[in-house]
Each structure stands twice: as C-alpha cells, then as structure tokens.
Amino acid sequence: MTGLTPAVAMARPMWSYPSRWILVVVAALSLATGTTGQATTSIQKSAVVEVDQATVNQILDVFHKAESAIARGDLDGIMALYATQYNYHGLKQADVRKIWFDLFEEYRDLSDVHFFSKIAKVGSGSNAIIEITCTGNLLGFSKTSGLRVPIDSWYEEVHDLTLEGGVWHIRGNAGDRPRVLPFGTAPHPLF
C-alpha cells in the first residue's frame, strides 16, 4: 500500500449551511420574545419561485387563513384548508382534525412561522399540485404549566397543495412514508 492515502470524508458542520440558521433564529426568537399569537408566512429573498404572482398570492392566502384560524383556535377554520383527499404518510383529515383538537385543548395563543424557500408547480390542469419547500415552527403556551412550548418545527419540509373548487388546499407533504422514523423525530402532519 505504498503511495496510497486513506480517504477521509469530512462532514460540514451544521452551521456552514446558511439556510439552517433560519430555523435556529426562528426558534430562538419565538421562544425568547414570549409574545402571544404571532404568526408569519414569508418567502425568502433567495427563494426559487416557479409560479406566477397570482398563484403566489393564492398560496399566501391559504397560509394566512391558517395563521388566523390557529390564532383564534378555530378548528373548523383550519380544517377547511385541508384537501378532501389529504394524506400525510397515512394520516387522513380525521386524524389531523383530532391532532388540532388536542392542540387547541392543551395550548393557548398558538403561533406559527413559515419561511418558503421554493414554490413549484408540478403537473397541469386538475392534476397540478404546488410543492412548497418550507422551514418553520409552531409554538404555544401550555394551559397546564403556563410555559411557552415548541410544539413542532420543520426544516425544508415540502408541503403539497392541490386545487379543489378553484381554491388551493393543503394535500399533505411530499415524500414516501418512512418505515421507521429516525430517533428524535416526529411526523409533521399539520401542514
């Protein structure tokens, strides 16, 4: 083995990826401020947007309606935004309704943050879907402890939206259903 140098793969630290800073900053600011009922949905300046402005406005409207329903604790309002054929790795509309019901029972002053880094249309006509690459979180105050609690967070999750009755609805998330979730992770069925 003369002249051979063993190959060593060097992993880049998490902090060398600028987009990962967004999740950390969002979580830290959300927890530190302790303010109630804040929500925001925004498109990153560096985002790849492959749809027209009218479609972007319609998509933002869906997420703004979700923010408003979440802030009000309006179960029917949030469920109206889900597609009738909603499917997130086997979870259907009734499952997500139960999750939201339990969240509204356990937490108050829920707030969510969504940062879109890509918006793309896949397919055409009635089969078209919108794929939104999103980083964000969901926070709330526990009714039991009174503490602000991070309920959910996600990094570059791909949300799928589909047209129903001429309006975009949340259909689920892209990707295959994992057979086993990695240690320390939970499903992200809410959007």
- Our count of domains for the chain comes to 1
The verdict on residue 122 lying in a domain is yes
Domain containing 87 equals 19-173
Residue 5 lies in a domain: no
Q: What is the pLDDT of residues 27-78, one digit of tens each?
A: 444 444 444 445 689 999 999 999 999 999 999 999 999 999 999 999 999 9
The pTM of the full predicted model, rounded to 2 decimals, is 0.75
How far the first Cα of the chain sits from its last, in Å, is 54
Q: What is the pLDDT of residues 138-185, one digit of tens each?
A: 999 999 999 999 999 989 999 999 999 999 999 988 865 545 544 444
The answer as to whether 186 is a domain residue is: no
Q: Please state, in angstroms and rounded to a whole number, the distance separating the CA atoms of residues 19 and 23.
A: 8
Supply the CATH number for residue 100's domain. 3.10.450.50
Which residues share a beta bridge with 139?
111, 150
Instruction: Tell me if 185 is assigned to some domain.
Output: no
Is 8 part of a structural domain of the chain?
no
Within a domain: 3? no
